[in-house]
A and B are shown apart, each in its own frame.
Chain A
Amino acid sequence: NAGVTQTPKFRVLKTGQSMTLLCAQDMNHEYMYWYRQDPGMGLRLIHYSVGEGTTAKGEVPDGYNVSRLKKQNFLLGLESAAPSQTSVYFCASSYPFWVSGTEAFFGQGTRLTVV
């Protein structure tokens, strides 16, 4: 039971470098999300997708880009990393929330440090 898998689990970047975080889910969920978690601020939504080929901005989208070319994958890109992007990143997926009994399933998180 893989669920939601994020790669990598840890990464250290230098300021200005780029990277892509990969999220894969095997539950056939339509919705996928990228959050960042910072101390005292909970989880803040970066971008989300409600279906293959569609993406939308969340609360804190600046400095990030996303793509959802396949239903099971949701990629988060940092084009030019900044120290302010040091955080723990979580991917999540779900069915539409009006489906009875649904919930969002989360990956194990990626700890990213930008130096």
Chain B
Amino acid sequence: AQTVTQSQPEMSVQEAETVTLSCTYDTSENNYYLFWYKQPPSRQMILVIRQEAYKQQNATENRFSVNFQKAAKSFSLKISDSQLGDTAMYFCASVSGSARQLTFGSGTQLTVLP
């Protein structure tokens, strides 16, 4: 069974600063996929970034990037130049190649302060 752990229930960052959200996961498979989803107060789940385990290069999407450490089973999200609109709950998630279940962590509530 897969497990995903987010050890930071809440974080805050000043506008325009950089913040890193932590995530660790556990899987026995070599082929898997990792995701960060954002849930603003509207409750809508929005994909932020996706990483395929067989790709060594860290994924980036504009101000969002990941630090994927496969050996350590770590998948952290870095948000650069934080904006007020980044205030949201952030969920880390994983799915393995053979499993069909997308497993989520408990989430990190990020608040961007003006």
Contacts and interface: CB of A to CB of B under 8 A. Distances in A.
B22 to A, nearest CB: 14
Contacts of B103: 45
B45 interface: yes
A65 interface: no
Given A40-B9, A42-B91, A50-B100, A90 B35 contact: no
A42 B33 contact: no
A42 B107 contact: yes
A45 B102 contact: yes
Interface residues of A, number: 27
Give the most central of B9, B91, B106: most A CB within 10 Å.
B106
Nearest to A56: B100
Contacts of B52: 100
A55 to B, nearest CB: 11
Interface stretch (A12-20, A21-29, A75-83, A102-110): A102-110
Given A40-B9, A40-B106, A97-B33, A58 B101 contact: yes
B47 A43 contact: no
A45 B99 CA distance: 13
Given A43-B91, A90-B45, A103-B50, A97 B104 contact: no
Given A35-B104, A40-B107, A44-B104, 18 more contacts: A33-B102, A40-B9, A41-B106, A42-B91, A42-B104, A45-B103, A56-B100, A92-B45, A96-B100, A97-B33, A97-B95, A97-B97, A97-B100, A97-B102, A98-B97, A106-B44, A108-B43, A108-B44
Interface of B: 6, 9, 31, 33, 35, 43-45, 47, 50, 52, 91, 95, 97, 100-107
14 contacts: A31-B100, A33-B102, A35-B104, A40-B9, A40-B107, A41-B106, A42-B91, A44-B104, A94-B102, A97-B33, A98-B97, A104-B47, A106-B45, A109-B43
Interface of A: 31, 33, 35, 40-45, 48, 50, 56, 58, 88, 90, 92, 94, 96-98, 100-101, 103-104, 106, 108-109
